[in-house]
Structure 1
Amino acid sequence: MLLLLLRLLACLPLSVLHGLGRLAGGLIYALPGKYRTRLRANATQAGYPEATFARRAAREAGAMILELAYVWLRTPQAVARVEVDDAADLHEALADPRGILFLTPHLGCYDITARWLAQHRAMTVMYRPPRKTYLAPILSTIRNTEGLTAVPATMQGVRAFVRTLKQGHSIGMLPDQVPNAGDGVWVPFFDRPAFTTTLPGRLARQTKVPVVMVAGERLPGGRGWRLHHLRLPDPLPESPEEQARLINAAMETLIRRCPQQYLWSYNRYKQPHKETARHPDGTAPANAHDRPATSEESATPRTSGHTPHD
């Protein structure tokens, strides 16, 4: 039934999907509760305190959800709607004979970035195994397409990442999901300490590959998406803290380009269960009593520190 629903949605024009998604997102935001409170708090932390901004961000989150059917099941048509900001520079990065580590934050349509990149060189991304086992075959069918391979967010997936990079191919990760306790460091994200994964830096240093931050901005009128990118210094700093600071700063730069399309409702500042590390200022995390992350909500298995690509 889910696959049938996705196929029916994919038949709709992209502009209609975006319109329906924005309507749904606005309706959900109108309901009082934790979703609206967190969205406004995180947006305000980043310097966007206006209620109009929060409502627009909620509508864009709805558009992000409904456009996935189009991106997943009409990939050739979706990729054809992508335009690239500073295309020559990105193609130069793609021409690097080494593997490439692409980092895609929860900004715009982060699924379109992997599918566009996979048209140019083989790409491996991570996913969370679904809670409902009957969904696994459906999601596997959706995620694995020509040039794009999805691996589970486990140690097996981490090993696949290392092999892929050493073979000169690309991998994609979400750098702004909160990792498990012990798999990250506390560094600023929009001037507030956030527990940040250290795996991207470790992978880049171990395999000696470049790191490129990329995001797909949703264009108005259902026109498609515009890819933005930033290439991080090569090599990255040796310190995990400095690596994480650099990655968070690059994310902030991309988010500032289309801030309404960032997923502000994500609990970016939560403290993972059993994480006892202190903030850089020596204080306990402000949300130390938030609900602990479950094994599926955590960005990484305890021993790996990786961040799955949804």
Structure 2
Amino acid sequence: MSDSPSPSSRDTSGADQGQPFERQFLGPLYWGIWLFVGLLWLLAYAPHRLRLGLAILLGGLYRRAYPKRRRIVARNLSLCFPEASDETRSDWLRRHFILQAYALLDLGRLWFRPADYLMSHTRVSDPDAFAQLVAGGGVVLTGHGAGLEWVGHFFTMNMTGSAMYKPFGRNRLLNWLFERGRERHGARVYPRAQGLKPHLRHLRAGQGFFYIADEDLGAADSVFAPFFGVEKATVPLAGKIAALGRVPVYPALGQLDLGDGSYRLLILPQTVIPQEADESAAAAINSTLERLIRIDPPQYMWSLKLFKTRPNAAREVYD
């Protein structure tokens, strides 16, 4: 199933130590999480049809049980695709919840199945572009697709690289599980609070930086630029990071195939993002993400409040 390059050797020397396992993780407070981890382990070895059936059930339950989240998805789709029919957007909304549910249930395969299995269940849209990235390093400009976690693991199975992460609040066990899962193939993950220095070090060594560029982080560190025609608070740093790291930018998005449970790394050739952290860079970032998302809109995580921060005290777009 895979048409990707074979894994390259990775230098993991000097890797930072992650959060250690703590004895308190075995206490009753965390038993529910461990029960869910056990379910994920079972699903990692279950047939695709079982995972799909559970995803359809879970996605439907979540869609009906959390009307606020459903309204966010519907609002984003109506803002970004006003030309689409109501029926089309309703179908995209339904598929979106199924895709996100399947990706959640698939954490077990990522955490417990071996690298050769994960490689064999991943396709690459442009093997030449991916080979160039592996050989020379680069900033991987991406967003919250259904396959985000999977293709993040896929990158680390092929090359050394780094990524930022946002801790799960005070739940130290969830932090430990996700950090351990993301680092199992050699990735380096750093809390956002550590800034860009560790990532620039990796880039200047010819490695990769998995840069998620679509979050609304507020007005302080953002500029506004159109995203599907709607002004969006955007952190305009992708081009500047690439210039400082002396590497190109590769747009990419992870997609999930509900037909067989495989994943696709949708990767585009090198693209130029302005180095100046201004509106032109933000517009280029958003335009690049649009190109990726339009290929299969339900794959994107429309449940994010993409337009929470409004320009010039404009009216709130969410209920």
TM score, norm. by length of structure 2: 0.79
- How has the CA–CA distance of structure 1 residues 145 and 201 changed in structure 2, closer, same or farther, with 3 Å as cutoff? same
Aligned with 2:67 (options 26, 30, 33): 33
Provide the residue aligned with 1:56 in structure 2: 95
**Deviation string for 1:123-176 (max 9, x for gaps)?**
111211222123333333212122312111212x52211111112111102111
Q: Which amino acid aligns with 1:84?
A: V
Distance in 1 between residues matched to 2:258 and 2:179, nearest whole Å: 30
Q: Which amino acid aligns with 2:263?
A: W
Q: Would you say 1:43 and 2:77 are equivalent positions?
A: yes
Structure label with greater radius of gyration:
2
Provide the residue aligned with 2:119 in structure 1: 79
Unmatched tracts of structure 1, length 5 or more = 272-277, 292-310
* Structure 1 position 6, deviation (Å): 3.0
Aligned with 2:179 (options 140, 143, 162): 140
Q: Secondary structure of 1:266's partner?
A: coil
Q: Which amino acid aligns with 1:140?
A: E
Alignment of 1:201-212 (within 5 A): 201-212=239-250
8 A Cα contact 2:153 2:182, kept in partner = no
Structure 1 range deviating more: 38-47 or 65-74: 65-74
Provide the residue aligned with 1:187 in structure 2: 225
8 A Cα contact 1:18 1:222, kept in partner = no
8 A Cα contact 2:129 2:270, kept in partner = no
Provide the residue aligned with 1:95 in structure 2: 135
Aligned with 1:109 (options 127, 131, 147): 147
Provide the residue aligned with 2:40 in structure 1: 6
Alignment of 1:238-277 (within 5 A): 238-271=276-309
* Structure 1 position 20, deviation (Å): 1.2
* Structure 1 position 223, deviation (Å): 4.1
Distance in 2 between residues matched to 1:186 and 1:163, nearest whole Å: 29
Provide the residue aligned with 1:233 in structure 2: 271
8 A Cα contact 2:73 2:93, kept in partner = yes
**Deviation string for 1:160-218 (max 9, x for gaps)?**
11111112111102111112431111111111111111232321232232111111221
* Structure 1 position 32, deviation (Å): 5.9
- How has the CA–CA distance of structure 1 residues 11 and 211 changed in structure 2, closer, same or farther, with 3 Å as cutoff? same
- How has the CA–CA distance of structure 1 residues 127 and 227 changed in structure 2, closer, same or farther, with 3 Å as cutoff? same
Provide the residue aligned with 2:254 in structure 1: 216
8 A Cα contact 2:223 2:279, kept in partner = yes
Whichever structure has more helix as a proportion of its residues is 2
* Structure 1 position 237, deviation (Å): 4.7
* Structure 1 position 88, deviation (Å): 2.0
- How has the CA–CA distance of structure 1 residues 286 and 74 changed in structure 2, closer, same or farther, with 3 Å as cutoff? farther
Q: Percent identity?
A: 27
Q: Would you say 1:69 and 2:98 are equivalent positions?
A: no
Provide the residue aligned with 1:149 in structure 2: 188
Unmatched tracts of structure 2, length 5 or more = 1-33
- How has the CA–CA distance of structure 1 residues 138 and 238 changed in structure 2, closer, same or farther, with 3 Å as cutoff? closer
The size of the alignment, in residue pairs, is: 278
* Structure 1 position 253, deviation (Å): 0.8
* Structure 1 position 25, deviation (Å): 0.9
Provide the residue aligned with 1:178 in structure 2: 216
* Structure 1 position 10, deviation (Å): 2.1
8 A Cα contact 1:204 1:236, kept in partner = no
TM score, norm. by length of structure 1: 0.81
- How has the CA–CA distance of structure 1 residues 71 and 29 changed in structure 2, closer, same or farther, with 3 Å as cutoff? same
- How has the CA–CA distance of structure 1 residues 57 and 136 changed in structure 2, closer, same or farther, with 3 Å as cutoff? closer
